[in-house]
């Protein structure tokens, strides 16, 4: 070990005995599949930290009392991994065939590192599960401790916001700091586009209805945000329709000191410009 390298165990401080009872699960995009575990983690960390980590098809990979470390491969470099959790196996569920085969108790003392620690490790031809050793863990170098949860889609600026519903959901549910800081004190006008039909809805974020962060949080919660035509659409087709086909684009943004009446005037202009009263979802 050299003094200028920070290794994974410099953070975890596992003893040699604990290392003998520790295994790492490498989460990698399966061949011929379109879904990527790092994208799943960004939307739903528990789907990785329980579903992928403890997935059991046939073999008894883990034993009760062992420690499981979960690493997710990053998309931009096959040797870069994100540490997402460390858990002690506390129960064997008895499930096989792709089910969650174990339950684990998370090591809370490492919580500041989860989703923030980027590690360099060349996996080579190892299987998806690797038993650790004092020598093996010294190949795992900590490259970076991020200031926030891993995110490769940072706030792009107000003029470049065009997001599918699932991206809006991820931003809201994960409370991403750069997006939150940008939206929570901003008023604005936005357009929601139904990609299945081309129909649009123009809406506004004002002090009365909530700033942009509040309005878009409403759409994540119920799909319609209280808007009449969108409420009817969700009633007829289900929230799943919104999740699949809706896209949110910011047209104009204003700081919180801007008068609400001006925002409403601009909203009305966009409704006319995009003809959303006659051929879209606006009813006023």
Tens-place pLDDT, residues 195-205: 999 999 999 99
Q: Where are the beta strands (DSSP E) in the chain?
A: 22-27, 55-56, 67-73, 80-92, 99-100, 102-106, 117-120, 129-131, 141-145, 162-164, 186-194, 200-205, 246-255
Structural domain includes residue 119: yes
Does residue 3 sit within a domain? no
Q: Are 119 and 8 in contact (CB under 8 A)?
A: yes
Q: Three-class SS of residue 182?
A: helix
Domain total of the chain: 2
The string of pLDDT tens digits covering residues 221-272 is 999 999 999 999 999 999 999 999 999 999 999 999 999 999 999 999 999 9
Average pLDDT, the chain: 90
Regarding whether 215 and 271 lie in a shared domain, the answer is yes
CA distance 274 to 5: 57
pLDDT > 70? residue 215: yes
Query: What is the predicted pLDDT for the residue at 33?
Result: 67
Whether residue 125 lies inside any domain: the answer is yes
User: Do 48 and 110 belong together in one domain?
Assistant: yes
Domain for residue 34, yes or no? yes
User: Are 172 and 71 part of one and the same domain?
Assistant: no
Mean pLDDT of 65-93: 93
Choosing from 117, 145, 173, the residue where a domain stops is: 145
Q: What is the CATH number of the domain that holds 221?
A: 3.40.1440.10
Quick check: is 210 in a domain?
A: yes
Q: Is the distance from CB of 280 to CB of 201 less than 8 angstroms? A: yes
* Same domain membership, residue 259 and residue 165: yes
Structural domain includes residue 151: no
Same domain, 188 and 118: no
132 lies in the same domain as 217 = no
Residue 110 has pLDDT above 90, yes or no: yes
What pLDDT, on a 0 to 100 scale, did the predictor assign at position 1?
44
Q: What is the mean pLDDT of residues 208-219?
A: 92
Whether 153 maps to a domain, the answer reads: no
When comparing pLDDT for 36 and 71, which is higher?
Answer: 71
The predicted model gives 29-54 an average pLDDT of 85
Domain enclosing residue 126, as ranges: 8-145
State which of 120, 145, 170 marks the end of a domain. Answer: 145
Asked if the structure places residue 49 within a domain, the reply is yes
């Amino acid at each position: 070990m050299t003094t200028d390298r920070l290794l994974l165990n410099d953070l975890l401080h596992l003893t040699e005995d604990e290392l003998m009872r520790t295994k790492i699960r490498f989460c990698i995009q399966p061949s011929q599949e379109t879904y990527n575990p790092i994208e799943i983690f960004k939307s739903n960390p528990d789907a990785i930290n329980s579903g992928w980590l403890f997935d059991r098809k046939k073999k008894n990979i883990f034993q009760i009392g062992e420690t499981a470390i979960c690493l997710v491969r990053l998309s931009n470099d096959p040797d870069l991994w994100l540490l997402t959790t460390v858990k002690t196996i506390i129960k064997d569920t008895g499930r096989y065939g792709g089910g969650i085969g174990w339950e684990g108790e998370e090591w809370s003392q490492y919580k500041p590192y989860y989703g923030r620690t980027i590690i360099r490790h060349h996996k080579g031809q190892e299987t998806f599960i690797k038993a650790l050793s004092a020598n093996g863990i010294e190949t795992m170098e900590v490259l970076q401790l991020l200031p926030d949860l891993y995110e490769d889609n940072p706030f792009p600026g107000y003029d470049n916001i065009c997001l599918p519903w699932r991206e809006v959901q991820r931003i809201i549910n994960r409370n991403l700091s750069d997006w939150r800081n940008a939206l929570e004190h901003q008023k604005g006008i936005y357009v929601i586009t139904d990609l299945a039909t081309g129909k649009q809805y123009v809406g506004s974020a004002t002090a009365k209805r909530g700033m942009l962060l509040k309005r878009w949080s409403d759409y994540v919660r119920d799909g319609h945000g209280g808007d009449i035509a969108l409420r009817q659409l969700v009633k007829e087709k289900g929230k799943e329709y919104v999740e699949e086909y809706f896209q949110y684009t910011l047209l104009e943004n204003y700081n919180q000191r801007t008068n609400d009446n001006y925002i409403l005037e601009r909203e009305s202009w966009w409704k006319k410009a995009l003809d959303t009263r006659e051929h879209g979802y606006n009813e006023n």
